[in-house]
C-alpha cells in the first residue's frame, strides 16, 4: 500500500450537507444547467482571491500570472472537468469548504425546495446559488484536486454525494501547479454536458462576463478554445452593451434566472471616481427579509474583488444586486478600514441617490415595470421612511398605497390632490390583512364622506407613520386613534340619516361607561360609524391599535392603553337598547359587555373572557326567545 493510499481520511458530511445532497440527487429540475454557472463562479472567485493575495505576495503568481478557467470535455469517459489556476485550497480548506455549510442561504434553500413543486426547481436553484453542491445534480461521483498557491502539497477530495467524503494527499504530478481541478463523473442522463455546443452555449448564456477568461477543451489533449474573454462588463461603454449582455451578467451576479426590472450603470467622476453597475431584480430574492438585512453589492478595486460585505447601499435597498469598482482605494487596504473610509461614505451617498433617482424615472416612464418593482420591494423601501430621515420625503413621494376604494396603488401626491374640502390630514388604517381592513367599521364614516384612507398592511407601516411628520403639509392620522373629527365634512348622500345623539342614547352611553369601568378609557358617541353599532379606537395619545398590538407581541410594552368604545347613535340596535327599561339592569349590563366583545371581534381580537361572553350571549338569547312566545 502506497503512502498516499495510507493517508486517506474518511469523513461524514454535516447533517445539513447530507440533507442538501439528498435533495439534490432525488429532486427533479427542469433545468440543471445552473451547476456549471455555479462551478465557474467559484472558479472565478478563486482567481480573484489570488489576485488580491498576490498584491502583498506577488510570488504566489509564479510564472503563470494570467488567471484562467478551463473546461475539459471527455465524452469517452463521460467526464466534465472544471479547472482554474486560482488560489486553490489546503487540506483544512477543502474540509471546511466542501464538508460544511457556511452560507445561511443554503439552509433557507433547503426549506424552500422541500416545500416547492418540482416545476419550481430551476427557479429555486437559480435563486439560492448553492455552489459546489449543485455538481451532484449531474454527477454521481465528484473528484476535487487542489493545491494552495505557494504550497508544494496537493490534496484530493472525493465523494459520491451519499453521506461521506474522503480527503487524501494527491500525487504532485497529477495535481495542478496551482488552483483547483473538479472532475465530474456524469450520470447517464447528463452525458450531454460533454458536448462542446451545449457547454459553450451555457457558458455564454450564464457566465460570459465573469472577469476571468474561459476556454473549452473539446477532448483531452486538444487545444483550448476561448469562449469568454474575461473582460469585465462594467468597464465597457454602455453603448457597447446589449440588453441581453446586462441580463446575462445580472443572472450571474444575482444568482437568479429572472430579468432585472431596472439596470443602473454609471461612472462617477470628480472628487471620487468609481463605476457602478446595479440591478433591481424582477422577483424577490430569497434573503429579502434576512434578519441581518445585509446588502449584496460587491466592492472591487481596480477590478480586484475586495469584499461583498461593504455597506454600499442602505439596508432598505438591500434587494439591489451588483457591484462598485473604484481606483481610489489602495489595493492593500484592510476590509475593516474600508468600512470607515470617507470614500465609502461618498460612494454610498452617490449610489443611493442614483438608484432612487432611477426608480423615480422608472415610475414616470415605465409605470408597469415600476408597479412590478413596488409589488416586490415596496415593503422594504418603506423601511427607509423610518430609517433615512434625510430622504424620507423623497421616499414618501416614491411610495404607493392601496386605499379603501381603490385596489390600484397610488401615490401621496394624487391623494393630496383629491382631498375633500375641510379635510386636514392624510388618513390611514394599519393591519395585517387587506380584506379585514376593507371591512373595518372605522372606515364607514370616511366612506360616507368620500374620504380616501390608506390601507397599510406591511409591518413597517405601523412605524414609519409615527416618524413621518407630514407630506406636502398634511399630517398622517390613524382612523383608529382619537376623535375622527368628521363633523365638518359633509356626507356624499344628502339624505343620509342624522347622527345626532338623542337624550335616550346619551343616557345609554353614560350607563355603558359606568358599566365597563376600567375595561375602557372612555365610551362616546361616534361620528365615524354609519353601519356598525360599535368599534374600538385608541386614545388620542400613544400608539394606535395596530402598533400597540405589535409592541405587545414583541414584549416592548407590558400594559396596553385602554381602548375607547365608540357607539353609533343612529344604529337601530343602539336605539332599541337605549329604549329598554332602566330597571332591567342585568340585561342592559349584559348588552353593554356584549357590545364591547363585538367591537373586539370586529377589531380582529377575541372576547377577553370567552366563557363569560358565552354565558351573556345565552342569557340574551333566552330573553329573546321568551319575548317571542
* Residue 616 grid coordinates: 351573556
Q: Is the pLDDT of residue 4 over 50?
A: no
Q: What per-residue confidence (pLDDT) applies to 27?
A: 56
The label of the residue with cell 462588463 reads: 233
What is the spatial distance between Cα 219 and Cα 196, in angstroms, rounded to a whole number? Answer: 9
Q: What per-residue confidence (pLDDT) applies to 127?
A: 36
More confident residue, 128 or 278: 278
The C-alpha R_g of the chain, in whole angstroms, comes to 33
Dihedrals phi, psi of 423, to nearest 5 degrees: -80, 125
What is the spatial distance between Cα 580 and Cα 508, in angstroms, rounded to a whole number? Answer: 10
The label of the residue with cell 490534496 reads: 155
Contact 67, 158 (CB under 8 A): no
Average pLDDT over residues 548-572: 81
- Structure confidence at residue 556 as a pLDDT band (50, 70, 90): low
Give me the percent of the chain exceeding a pLDDT of 70: 87
Q: What per-residue confidence (pLDDT) applies to 422?
A: 87
Angle between helices 503-516 and 585-602 (to 10 degrees): 80
The bridge status of strand 426-430 relative to strand 454-456 is parallel
Q: What per-residue confidence (pLDDT) applies to 216?
A: 97
Q: What per-residue confidence (pLDDT) applies to 118?
A: 46
Q: Is the pLDDT of residue 531 over 50?
A: yes
More confident residue, 466 or 497: 466
Q: What per-residue confidence (pLDDT) applies to 336?
A: 63
**Nearest residue to 167 (alpha-carbon basis) of 229, 66, 226, 93:** 93
The label of the residue with cell 415605465 reads: 366
Q: Is the pLDDT of residue 268 over 80?
A: yes
- Structure confidence at residue 514 as a pLDDT band (50, 70, 90): very high
- Structure confidence at residue 28 as a pLDDT band (50, 70, 90): very low
* Residue 559 grid coordinates: 400594559
More confident residue, 114 or 585: 585
Q: Is the pLDDT of residue 412 over 90?
A: yes
The pTM (predicted TM-score) of the whole model is: 0.70
Q: Which residues pair with 297 in a beta bridge?
A: 322
* Residue 490 grid coordinates: 359633509
Average pLDDT over residues 527-533: 91
Q: What per-residue confidence (pLDDT) applies to 312?
A: 94
pLDDT tens digits, 181-215 = 999 999 999 999 999 999 998 888 777 778 899 99
Average pLDDT over residues 233-239: 91
The label of the residue with cell 374600538 reads: 536
User: Which of 330-359 are b and which e, b meaning 16 or more Cβ less than 10 Å from the residue's Cβ?
Assistant: eeeeeeeebeeeebbebbbebbbebbbebb
**Among 249-253, 565-569, 595-599, whose mean pLDDT is lowest?**
249-253
Q: Is the pLDDT of residue 6 over 90?
A: no
Q: Is the pLDDT of residue 121 over 50?
A: no
Q: Is the pLDDT of residue 335 over 80?
A: no
- Structure confidence at residue 290 as a pLDDT band (50, 70, 90): confident
How does DSSP classify residue 219? S
* Mean pLDDT over each residue of the chain, to the nearest integer: 86
Count of Cβ atoms closer than 10 Å to residue 51 Cβ: 21
Q: What per-residue confidence (pLDDT) applies to 1?
A: 40
How does DSSP classify residue 498? P
Q: Is the pLDDT of residue 243 over 90?
A: yes
14-23, 202-211, 226-235, 276-285: which is most confident:
276-285
Average pLDDT over residues 126-143: 75
Return the ∠ at Cα 123 (arms to 117 and 127), rounded to 5°: 125
- Structure confidence at residue 271 as a pLDDT band (50, 70, 90): confident
What is the spatial distance between Cα 437 and Cα 453, in angstroms, rounded to a whole number? Answer: 10
The bridge status of strand 69-74 relative to strand 321-326 is unpaired
What is the spatial distance between Cα 133 and Cα 189, in angstroms, rounded to a whole number? Answer: 18
Angle between helices 196-206 and 34-53 (to 10 degrees): 60
Contact 515, 509 (CB under 8 A): no
Count of Cβ atoms closer than 10 Å to residue 410 Cβ: 16
Return the ∠ at Cα 390 (arms to 386 and 394), rounded to 5°: 80
pLDDT tens digits, 423-474 = 999 999 998 889 889 999 999 999 999 999 999 999 899 889 988 879 999 9
Q: What per-residue confidence (pLDDT) applies to 576?
A: 92
What is the spatial distance between Cα 91 and Cα 8, in angstroms, rounded to a whole number? Answer: 12
What is the spatial distance between Cα 66 and Cα 37, in angstroms, rounded to a whole number? Answer: 21
The bridge status of strand 214-217 relative to strand 69-74 is parallel
* Residue 250 grid coordinates: 445580472
**Nearest residue to 142 (alpha-carbon basis) of 156, 128, 126:** 156
More confident residue, 559 or 395: 395
Helix H or strand E encompassing 397: helix 392-398
Cβ neighbours of residue 474 closer than 8 Å, sequence gap 6 or more: 416, 419, 424, 425, 426
Average pLDDT over residues 8-35: 71
How does DSSP classify residue 471? B
What is the spatial distance between Cα 220 and Cα 536, in angstroms, rounded to a whole number? Answer: 77
pLDDT tens digits, 56-72 = 899 999 999 999 999 99
- Structure confidence at residue 110 as a pLDDT band (50, 70, 90): low
- Structure confidence at residue 125 as a pLDDT band (50, 70, 90): very low
Q: Is the pLDDT of residue 12 over 70?
A: yes
The bridge status of strand 454-456 relative to strand 274-280 is unpaired
What is the spatial distance between Cα 115 and Cα 461, in angstroms, rounded to a whole number? Answer: 29
Q: What per-residue confidence (pLDDT) applies to 3?
A: 43
Q: What per-residue confidence (pLDDT) applies to 162?
A: 84
What is the spatial distance between Cα 199 and Cα 84, in angstroms, rounded to a whole number? Answer: 17
Amino acid at each position: 500500500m502506497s503512502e498516499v493510499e495510507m493517508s486517506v481520511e474518511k469523513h461524514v458530511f454535516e447533517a445539513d450537507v447530507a440533507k442538501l445532497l439528498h435533495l439534490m440527487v432525488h429532486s427533479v429540475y427542469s433545468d440543471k444547467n445552473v451547476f456549471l454557472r455555479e462551478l465557474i463562479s467559484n472558479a472565478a472567485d478563486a482567481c480573484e482571491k489570488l489576485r488580491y493575495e498576490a498584491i502583498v505576495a506577488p510570488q504566489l503568481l509564479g510564472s503563470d500570472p494570467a488567471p484562467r478557467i478551463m473546461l475539459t470535455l471527455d465524452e469517452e469517459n463521460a467526464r466534465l472537468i472544471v479547472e482554474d489556476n486560482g488560489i486553490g485550497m489546503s487540506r483544512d480548506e477543502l474540509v471546511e469548504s466542501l464538508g460544511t455549510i457556511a452560507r445561511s442561504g443554503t439552509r433557507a434553500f433547503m426549506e424552500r425546495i422541500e416545500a416547492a413543486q418540482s416545476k419550481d426547481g430551476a427557479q429555486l436553484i437559480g435563486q439560492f446559488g448553492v455552489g459546489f453542491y449543485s455538481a451532484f445534480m449531474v454527477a454521481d461521483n465528484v473528484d476535487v484536486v487542489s493545491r494552495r498557491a505557494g504550497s508544494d502539497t496537493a490534496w484530493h477530495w472525493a465523494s459520491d454525494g451519499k453521506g461521506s467524503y474522503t480527503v487524501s494527499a494527491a500525487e504532485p504530478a497529477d495535481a495542478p501547479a496551482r488552483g483547483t481541478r473538479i472532475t465530474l463523473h456524469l450520470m447517464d442522463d447528463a452525458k450531454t454536458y460533454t458536448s462542446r455546443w451545449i457547454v459553450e452555449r451555457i457558458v455564454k448564456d450564464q457566465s460570459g462576463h465573469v472577469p476571468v477568461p474561459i476556454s473549452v477543451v473539446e477532448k483531452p489533449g486538444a487545444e483550448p478554445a476561448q469562449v469568454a474573454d474575461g473582460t469585465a462588463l462594467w468597464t465597457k461603454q454602455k453603448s457597447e452593451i446589449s440588453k441581453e449582455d446586462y441580463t446575462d451578467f445580472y443572472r450571474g451576479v444575482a444568482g437568479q434566472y429572472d430579468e432585472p426590472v431596472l439596470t443602473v450603470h454609471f461612472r462617477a467622476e470628480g472628487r471620487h471616481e468609481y463605476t457602478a453597475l446595479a440591478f433591481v431584480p424582477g422577483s424577490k430574492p430569497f434573503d429579502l427579509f434576512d434578519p441581518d438585512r445585509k446588502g449584496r453589492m460587491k466592492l472591487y478595486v481596480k477590478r480586484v474583488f475586495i469584499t461583498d460585505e461593504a455597506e454600499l447601499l442602505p439596508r432598505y435597498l438591500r434587494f439591489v444586486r451588483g457591484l462598485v469598482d473604484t481606483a481610489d482605494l489602495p489595493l492593500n487596504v484592510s476590509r475593516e478600514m474600508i468600512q470607515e473610509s470617507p470614500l465609502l461614505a461618498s460612494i454610498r451617498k452617490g449610489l443611493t441617490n442614483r438608484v432612487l433617482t432611477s426608480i423615480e424615472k422608472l415610475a414616470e416612464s415605465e409605470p408597469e415595470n415600476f408597479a412590478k418593482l413596488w409589488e416586490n420591494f415596496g415593503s422594504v423601501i418603506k423601511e427607509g421612511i423610518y430609517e433615512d430621515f434625510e430622504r424620507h420625503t423623497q421616499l414618501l413621494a416614491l411610495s404607493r398605497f392601496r386605499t379603501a376604494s381603490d385596489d390600484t396603488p397610488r401615490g401621496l401626491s394624487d391623494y393630496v390632490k383629491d382631498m375633500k374640502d375641510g379635510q386636514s390630514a392624510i388618513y390611514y388604517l394599519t393591519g395585517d390583512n387587506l380584506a379585514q381592513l376593507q371591512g373595518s367599521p372605522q372606515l364607514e364614516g370616511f366612506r360616507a364622506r368620500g374620504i380616501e384612507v390608506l390601507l397599510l398592511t406591511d409591518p413597517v407601516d405601523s412605524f414609519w407613520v409615527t416618524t413621518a411628520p407630514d407630506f406636502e403639509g398634511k399630517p398622517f392620522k390613524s382612523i383608529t386613534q382619537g376623535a375622527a373629527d368628521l363633523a365638518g365634512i359633509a356626507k356624499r348622500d344628502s339624505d343620509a340619516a342624522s347622527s345626532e345623539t338623542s337624550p335616550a342614547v346619551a343616557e345609554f352611553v353614560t350607563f355603558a361607561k359606568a358599566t365597563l369601568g376600567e375595561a375602557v378609557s372612555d365610551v362616546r358617541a361616534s361620528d365615524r360609524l354609519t353601519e356598525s353599532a360599535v368599534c374600538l379606537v385608541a386614545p388620542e395619545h400613544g400608539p394606535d391599535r395596530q402598533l400597540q398590538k405589535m409592541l405587545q407581541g414583541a414584549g416592548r410594552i407590558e400594559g396596553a392603553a385602554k381602548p375607547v368604545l365608540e357607539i353609533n347613535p343612529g344604529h337601530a340596535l343602539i336605539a332599541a337598547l337605549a329604549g329598554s327599561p332602566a330597571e332591567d339592569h342585568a340585561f342592559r349590563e349584559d348588552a353593554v359587555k356584549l357590545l364591547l366583545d363585538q367591537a373586539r371581534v370586529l377589531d380582529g381580537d377575541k372576547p377577553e373572557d370567552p366563557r363569560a361572553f358565552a354565558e351573556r350571549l345565552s342569557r340574551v338569547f333566552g330573553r329573546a326567545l321568551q319575548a317571542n312566545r
